[in-house]
Chain A
Amino acid sequence: AQSVTQPDARVTVSEGASLQLRCKYSYSGTPYLFWYVQYPRQGLQLLLKYYSGDPVVQGVNGFEAEFIKSNSSFHLRKASVHWSDSAVYFCAVSVGSTGNYKYVFGAGTRLKVIA
């Protein structure tokens, strides 16, 4: 069965510190992987996505993620967090065929950035 695991429900980091949010997936097909961010009372916005090629992908606002096939992981990183990065972050894998696809989401990680 397909699944996405985000093992950390909550993460607190100091402003200016580095960040890693973990994501592991289970899917037997070719994984198309995504990180979305949700700010309070809003819908989800795409941070970055991986389809193929360079396993390190760059996203918006200085975020990046690395696809490690051997570990079935797609961890999100940022070198220096800002207070405005406080939000909920979701990892997702797209499953299915080209016209017939859907997402499986992780439970999300709530990030709090403190001064």
Chain B
Amino acid sequence: EAAVTQSPRNKVAVTGGKVTLSCNQTNNHNNMYWYRQDTGHGLRLIHYSYGAGSTEKGDIPDGYKASRPSQENFSLILELATPSQTSVYFCASGDAGRSSYEQYFGPGTRLTVL
């Protein structure tokens, strides 16, 4: 069964600190995505990747970096965390061929920046 896992599940960070959110998928999908979810906005795309070594900016990339070192792993990096980045973050994987454009979502990471 398709599986996307995220770590940590909960994180409290201080303003100005560095935060790394990790995502792992065992679906062998080429594409991976990072979203944030805030009330009233639904899910907004931060960064995405079409394969190992590639990253693309999504709709709200400012303040975030991404890294895709392998097919399975995709990280979201907040170099200087701010309270406005307090949110729930979701990772997803998908593949036009293997998953017919469906995206499989992880359980989410709740980030609080104080």
Per the CB 8 Å criterion, the residue count for chain B at the interface is 27
Per the CB 8 Å criterion, the residue count for chain A at the interface is 25
Contact with A102, one of B30, B33, B90 (Cβ below 8 angstroms): B33
- List A5-20 residues whose CB lies under 8 Å from chain B: 6, 9
Q: By the criterion CB–CB under 8 Å, are A98 and B96 in contact?
A: yes
On chain A, the residues within 8 Å of B102 by CB distance are 34, 46, 49
B87 lies within 8 A of chain A by Cβ: no
Q: By the criterion CB–CB under 8 Å, are A107 and B31 in contact?
A: no
Interface-central residue, A9, A34, A100, by most chain B CB under 10 Å:
A100
Q: By the criterion CB–CB under 8 Å, are B58 and A102 in contact?
A: yes
Chain B 28-71 interface mask (CB, 8 Å, partner A; 1/0) = 00110101000011111100101000000010000000000000
Interface residues of B (CB under 8 A from A): 4, 30-31, 33, 35, 40-45, 48, 50, 58, 90, 92, 94, 96-97, 100-103, 105-108
